Structure 1
Amino acid sequence: MSDAIFDSFSGIGRMIILATMAYVAVVLILRISGKRTLSTLNAFDMIVTVALGSTLATAILSRSTPLLEALTAFATLVGLQWIVAWLSIRSRGFANMVRSEPALLVRKGEILHDALRRQRVTENELMTVIRQSSARAPENTAAVILETDGSFSVVAEDGADNGTAYARAGLNRR
C-alpha cells in the first residue's frame, strides 16, 4: 500500500501510545495551570490556544520531534500564558499592552461609523449581528459592543438598561 494511506501496524501502535501519553500529560499540565489557560477571552488567548493545539499535534504526529521535547514546549507555552495572565492582573499597563478593550459600535440606535472603521467591521456585518439578536433593528438597540474575544454583544432597547452594560464593558455612556 501507499505510504500516504498506510505505513505499518507498528506506526499505528506508536501513534496510539504517543497520543495516549500526550493526552495524559496535557490533561495534567492543564489541570495544574488552571482554567484560564484555555480561555479565549481575547485574541492573545486564542493565539496561545492555537499554538497549544499545534504543539500537541506535533507531539503526536511528528516522528522527528521526541514526545518529551514537544511536551516541554507545551508546558513552556502554558507557563508563559500563566505569567502573562498573572502580570495582567497585577499591572494595568501590561494588561493594556496584551489585551484589547471592548468597543462600542452602536449607542442608543446610532451606528458609530468611526468605531466601525477602527474595528474593521462593515455595516453589513453589524446589521447581521443586530438582525440575529432580539433587537432586530438598530433603532431597537441600546448598544452593540465588539467584545475582546471578537464576539458581539447586543443590548436591546427595552428601557431596562440602567447603564450597567456600558459600565461593565468599560465604555463611556453618552
Structure 2
Amino acid sequence: MWHDLLSVQVPIAEKVLRTVGVYALIVILFRLSGKRGLANLNTFDFVVIFLLSNVVQNAVIGNDNSLLGGAIGATTLVAVNAALNRWLAVNERAVRLVEGKPTTIIEDGRLLTGALRHLALRPTEVEHAVRLQNGDDISMVAVGRLEPDGQLVIVLKPSEQNATRADVQRLETRLEAIENFLASLATDPGHHPTES
C-alpha cells in the first residue's frame, strides 16, 4: 500500500512539464476567451470551468495515481502561479501581454455596441454592473471601462457624482458667512457692510 502511495509512476520531470504545459494552455485559453471570463461568469461559464478541470486532469497527472505524484503536480501548479503573479507585479509589459488592456464600453452615457459585441456582453449585464456601482442609469456614466480582470470601472458625469467632504465644507463655510452677514444686519439694521 505505501509503495503505491509514494511511488511516482511518471518521471518527475515529465510530471512538472505536463503541469506547466497545461497551466500555460489554460492561461492562453482564458486570455483568448476575453475579459468577461473572470468577472461576469454566467451559468455556461461555470459549466466550462467545471468540465475544464476534468478534461485536463489526465494531461496533468498522466498514468500516475500516486499521492506523491499528485503532490508534485499540485506543488508545481502553485509554484508556477506564484511565479507568474510575481512577474506580473513587476513587469507592466507582461501584464499587457498576459491580461490585455482595458476596453471602453460606455462613453458619455452611451453603450458602445461594437465593444459589447466584441466582448460578448449583453447591455443588461452592463446596466446591472452600473447599478451595483451606485449609478442609477447608463446615461449617468461619463466613461465605463472593462478592465483586463473583468471588473467594470465607471466614472460618473460630474453632475451625477456625490458631494465630497470638500464640497460640504465649502457649503458650510458659505452658510456660516451668510449667517454672520444676517446676524450683523439684525444687530445694526442701518449698517450695510458694503458701505464701509
Larger radius of gyration: 2
Larger helix fraction of residues: 2
Higher relative contact order (Cα pairs below 8 Å, separated by 6+ residues):
2
Q: TM-score, normalised by structure 2?
A: 0.43
Q: TM-score, normalised by structure 1?
A: 0.48
